[in-house]
Homo-oligomer: A and B are copies of this chain.
Amino acid sequence: MKELPIGIFDSGVGGLTVAAEVMKTLPAEDIIYFGDIARTPYGTKSLETVRRFSIEIADFLIKQRVKMIVVACNTASSLALATLKERFHLPIIGVLEPGVLKAIKSTKSKRIGVIGTQATISSNAYPQAIKTIAPDIQVLNQPCPLFVPLVEEGWLEHEVTKLVAKEYLTPLKENQIDTLILGCTHYPFLKGVIQVVMGNEVVLVDSAIEVAEEIKKVLSQNNGLRPQNSNPVYKFYVSDTSSKFAEVGKRLLGNEIQVVMQVNV
């Protein structure tokens, strides 16, 4: 069992930021990554559809014999994590909870902001998760639908991106949050611009590092870690051919990403 790979999936390339952290934190672990780039993005889709897609991908990963599934997509974590946990009987980890715990630890003003896709924000999953643990914390939500297309366009420092960030984030700034959860795996690419708009005193929470720590914890508890001197094997699957996936992958993972295989789920 412990020799099996960790399965990680996302609607596209964003989850590679999580994969990169897992590689750093758990360098002996094999990884199978799936990016659903034929149906990306998830952030504009409905609850039912995101659940259906997530189940199909979990089915695929389980057929590849993974020991654990990491839902490295905030939209799928917000909309489908409970469904997946009900349906499949292996450890399944989302990206919400680790970020939420970090944010609760960080806030002093008890005012946390959350930004994400339309679907993530509409699901209300973040405020629910925060209020279950810390009912006294106020949560301010803001969907940022243009952030993902801007990252995909590569306009990470562009004048347009600054203007969009100002428009989306000014209400959060005015409401004096001191901690902002980047509730979408694409958003860390915009950290620079977001930090400028929010000011240096606001802590940005990027869940990827927290998620990697959570994976380590869960595997340790289940005696599921590979021996530390193992050489890892990384496999990447996508649902569409795309040179962009390999490009972004190379930028994030360097030589760790070689072959990308296309499959239909």
Binding site for B on A (CB under 8 A): 37-40, 44-49, 145-146, 148-150, 152-153, 159-160, 163-164, 167, 239-242
Contacts and interface: CB of A to CB of B under 8 A. Distances in A.
Contact of A241 (B48, B159, B167, B241): B48
Contact of A46 (B44, B45, B47, B241): B241
A153 B163 contact: no
Contacts of A40: 44
A38 B44 contact: no
Contacts of A167: 160
Given A159-B163, A163-B159, A163-B160, A242 B145 contact: no
Contacts of A160: 146, 160, 163-164, 167
Given A149-B145, A150-B146, A242 B46 contact: yes
User: Across chains A and B, which 5 residue pairs bring their CB atoms closest together, nearest first?
Assistant: A149-B149, A46-B241, A49-B240, A39-B39, A38-B49
Contacts of A163: 159-160, 163
A122 to B, nearest CB: 10
A45 B38 contact: yes
A152 B240 contact: no
A36 to B, nearest CB: 10
A17 to B, nearest CB: 19
Contact of A240 (B46, B159, B164): B46
Contact of A145 (B45, B46, B152): B152
A84 to B, nearest CB: 19
B159 A153 contact: no
A160 B145 CA distance: 14
Contacts of A159: 163
